[in-house]
Amino acid sequence: MNAFEALGLNEQLVQAITEMGFETPTPIQEKAIPVLLSGTTDFVGLAQTGTGKTAAFGLPLLHLIDTSQKHPQALIVCPTRELCIQICNDLMHFKKHVKGLSVEPVYGGASIVMQIRELKRGVQIVVATPGRLIDMIERKAIDLQKVKYVVLDEADEMLNMGFRDDIDFVLKNTVLRESIWLFSATMPTAVKAISKNFMTNPIEVTMGKKNTANVNIHHQYFITPAHSRYDTLKRLIDFNPGMYGLIFTRTKADAQEVTERLSKEGYDIESLHGDLTQQQRDKVMARFRSKSIQLLIATDVAARGIDVDGITHVINYELPDDMEVYTHRSGRTARAGKSGICMTICHSREAYKIRSLEKLVNAQFHKLDIPSGKDVCRKQFFHFMDKLMEADISNGEYETYLPDLQKKFEGVSKDDVLKRVAALEFNHFLKYYQHSDDLNAKTDSRERRETGFRDTGAGERRERNTFSRSDNGYSRLFINLGTKDGFYKASFLQFILDESNLKKEVLGKIDIREMNAWVEIDKAAAPKMIKSMDGKTYNGRLVRMNEADGGFKRASDDGRNDRGEGRSDRSEGRKRIPMR
């Protein structure tokens, strides 16, 4: 008996998935399918994308639908349009041999009139994003009264995106519901609350440990000074010539800037960001999916729902603010049993966060040296030579050129021919990397002792719990401006960058208090920053900026800097005026 048949699925479904090449159920399918086929059990599945979870809920759902009834019997709610389409596509494949069963997507950014028309034709499974679904309910264009099964897919993502009220609304409006099936990669409190408020004795199935990343993902991190982040990214891309990668940045501005710079330098890259129309976004995604572009860069919000097979590398250009987001990012690689690499570029002040990540995803992170220019050239060279050896030379045309070629290369050795071929491809690389810098953050022996780094051989260093903030290539600057002057962190950062005409990459940590702030800045850029700020007037008051020689203040500190500078010449309630 076929393994899927043994789980209780009907013949038509088994036939379809067999044709799709599914031979054995994935672990989540094995556990979920028999439970879900009962139809009446609430279910919580902790599983990432790539584990086969769509089939885990999709197959039982298709099995349970009564095809003689032409009203919505199942509702799948998911966070994004992309995921919505993806789920529909999967269901269409699974139901290939089932007659009289229709599945309809409902998502924003497309004509609601058309979607309403489709729904009126009598669909049994609706796959929807929360916003458009609510819109449909309010227009009375969809009847959820007889929905028996509600699936919440990527519940944590939906809650992250602020759909909590919408989900509550949907669950309250499916009064004849027999079960809820909830799938989530992580189990934050808000997801637990759904289970507590709406579910009855749910069966919980966890794939691996809770909040655990896929074991096939290799986690690597690279420590570089803040100003070398971009060069490090380039180095990592160059060092991995076969990369099909997804790069994450924290902000839209970073995504755009990095894309622009890399494109100018000839890299095959496009970005996904909130400013794109749905049509532009679809085009970028289609190009990435078909591998017409090698690299895609995105913010976490823009990347929601990206579901592409075969991504070899995920690169965190910056660590995410919310560490749980790391799980989502890294889960874009190593899908469907393949392995993948998740690389994180961080500066030495962030390295301690790697510890928390190791705990969060329950996996070891390897600190690797950023490859030297020489390493890159060598890697590229042999990659090219591999391609040379794999080239298809079966076309008979080449044979006809051979006599001429032989004549042309008479007296030229094989070595010389190889060198020439290599030179054609590599001269630009060699030239570019000839005098390249070492991008690794410097760790002298004292610092290494303090930071707890120890060599573990093979160019790899592991990190111990302690993390020193003493000498990491940064200067700490004190400035007598703070939140009282109307600043918050982002506006303050923008302000000092605008005034100094420096790039964000030179900055490390910023600690802004009521009266003062401390700014960590690359040593080389510190004089320029001081020069552009110190002695200027802000709101009619003299601005003081100087090197602070103590450490960063903790929240309990009193807001005076290490030298006791601070509040003396302030008055309350000053208006912000442009700096002169």
d(CA 77, CA 113): 20
Edge-to-edge strands, sheet with 460-463 = 269-272, 295-299, 245-249, 313-316, 340-346, 217-223, 365-368, 460-463, 453-455
Residue 77 or 515 with smaller CB distance to ligand AMP = 77
| Binding string, residues 9-28; x marks residues near ligand AMP by CB under 6 A | -------------x--xx--
Residue 22 or 326 with smaller CB distance to ligand AMP = 22
Residue 52 or 373 with smaller CB distance to ligand AMP = 52
Kindly state the smallest distance separating residue 52's Cβ from ligand AMP, in Å: 3
Kindly state the smallest distance separating residue 26's Cβ from ligand AMP, in Å: 5
- How many residues contact ligand AMP, by CB under 6 A? 14
Q: Is 457 exposed, middle or buried (0-12, 13-18, 19+ CB in 10 A)?
A: exposed
Beta carbons of 17 and 2 less than 8 angstroms apart: no
Residue 157 or 522 with smaller CB distance to ligand AMP = 157
Residue 337 or 550 with smaller CB distance to ligand AMP = 337
DSSP code string of 318-378: S--SSHHHHHHHHTTSS-TT--EEEEEEE-GGGTHHHHHHHHHHTS-EEEEPPPPHHHHHH
Query: How far from 36 is each of 57, 312, 475, 514, CA to CA, in Å?
Result: 7, 33, 58, 55
Kindly state the smallest distance separating residue 467's Cβ from ligand AMP, in Å: 36
Polymer length of the chain: 580
Kindly state the smallest distance separating residue 571's Cβ from ligand AMP, in Å: 60
Kindly state the smallest distance separating residue 58's Cβ from ligand AMP, in Å: 8
Query: In Å, how far from its chain's centre is CA 136?
Result: 31
Local structure of residue 569 (DSSP, 8 states): G
| Stretch of 43-51, 144-152, 376-384, 426-434 contacting ligand AMP, by CB under 6 A | 43-51
**Within 44-83, which residues bind ligand AMP (CB under 6 A)?**
49-55
Give the up-direction half-sphere exposure of residue 433: CA atoms within 13 A in the CB hemisphere.
Answer: 24
Residue 22 or 317 with smaller CB distance to ligand AMP = 22
**Within 435-454, which residues bind ligand AMP (CB under 6 A)?**
none
Residues 6+ apart with CB under 8 A from 185: 46, 47, 48, 49, 154, 156, 157, 211, 327, 328, 331
Three state DSSP letters for 28-87: HHHHHHHHHCCCCCCEEEECCCCCCHHHHHHHHHHHHCCCCCCCCCEEEECCCHHHHHHH
Residue 78 or 506 with smaller CB distance to ligand AMP = 78
DSSP code string of 146-179: T--EEEE-SHHHHHHTT-HHHHHHHHHT-TT--E
Continuous segment of H or E residues that includes residue 524: none
Residue 289 or 355 with smaller CB distance to ligand AMP = 289
d(CA 31, CA 29): 5
Residue 83 or 142 with smaller CB distance to ligand AMP = 83
Residue 14 or 530 with smaller CB distance to ligand AMP = 14
Kindly state the smallest distance separating residue 258's Cβ from ligand AMP, in Å: 28
d(CA 89, CA 81): 12
**Alpha helix positions (H), 456-565:** 489-500, 526-533
**Within 273-312, which residues bind ligand AMP (CB under 6 A)?**
309
Kindly state the smallest distance separating residue 212's Cβ from ligand AMP, in Å: 15
d(CA 358, CA 325): 13
Kindly state the smallest distance separating residue 359's Cβ from ligand AMP, in Å: 25
d(CA 127, CA 130): 10
**Within 319-348, which residues bind ligand AMP (CB under 6 A)?**
335-336
Kindly state the smallest distance separating residue 308's Cβ from ligand AMP, in Å: 10
Kindly state the smallest distance separating residue 53's Cβ from ligand AMP, in Å: 5
Kindly state the smallest distance separating residue 83's Cβ from ligand AMP, in Å: 9
**230: three-class secondary structure by DSSP:** helix
Residue 45 or 371 with smaller CB distance to ligand AMP = 45
The residue ranges that bind ligand AMP (CB under 6 A) are 22, 25-26, 29, 49-55, 309, 335-336
